[in-house]
């Protein structure tokens, strides 16, 4: 999709573009319908289709991937129905997945070269998964004369010395 095509009316998603340009990211998800039973193949196919290149949906996608790990541990065949305990978790995931489209992530772009910049990196791990995130903190300096920017400060946070 190109901006000029949308603005000229050649393609329709004008509202999506306007919302993105107004400073909010959002997600379009297709509802996945709940069925009375699922095979290993069907669940793994759905999980493989979850696309999140920016990682904003990481906490949601990881639930599906942990579920996928648990299905593999059952050692059932591809076309066998998943066990009831896993089915209940999968059904809950599907019912909640559609609510992702209600999420809006504000975008902030008010950076100036004389601002103070800090990077804060957080990471953690468990037996099932690991995660890392990087936040950028921009603070306005409160002095009259603008000087050259200092070096960027980096902070690393974790509760495990093994991760770093």
Instruction: Give residue limits of the domains in the chain.
Output: 28-106, 116-157
The DSSP element (H or E) to which 104 belongs, if any, is strand 104-106
- Cα→Cα distances 78→39, 43, 60, Å: 7, 10, 24
Residue in the block written with tokens 């009375």: 36
Inter-axis angle of helices 58-74 and 40-48, nearest 10: 150
Distance CA 162, CA 126 (A): 12
Rounded CA-CA distance 48/57 in Å is: 14
Q: What is the pTM of this model?
A: 0.69
pLDDT, tens digit, 9 for 90 and up, residues 52-78: 877 888 888 999 999 999 999 999 999
Instruction: Extract the tokens encoding 17.
Output: 């573009």
pLDDT bracket for residue 9 (50, 70, 90): low
Dig out the tokens for 74 from the structure.
Answer: 């059952």
**What pLDDT does residue 62 have?**
93
């Amino acid at each position: 999709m190109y901006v000029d095509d949308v603005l000229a009316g050649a393609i329709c998603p004008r509202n999506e573009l306007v919302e993105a340009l107004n400073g909010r990211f959002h997600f379009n998800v297709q509802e996945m319908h709940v069925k009375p039973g699922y095979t290993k193949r069907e669940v793994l196919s759905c999980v493989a289709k979850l696309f999140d290149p920016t990682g904003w949906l990481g906490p949601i996608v990881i639930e599906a991937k942990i579920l996928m790990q648990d299905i593999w541990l059952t050692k059932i065949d591809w076309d066998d129905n998943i066990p009831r305990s896993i089915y209940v978790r999968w059904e809950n995931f599907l019912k909640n997945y559609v609510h992702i489209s209600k999420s809006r992530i504000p975008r902030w772009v008010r950076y100036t070269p004389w601002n103070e910049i800090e990077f804060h990196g957080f990471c953690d791990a468990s037996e099932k998964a690991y995660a890392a995130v990087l936040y950028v903190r921009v603070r306005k300096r409160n002095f009259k004369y603008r000087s050259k920017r200092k070096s960027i400060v980096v902070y690393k946070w974790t509760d495990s010395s093994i991760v770093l």
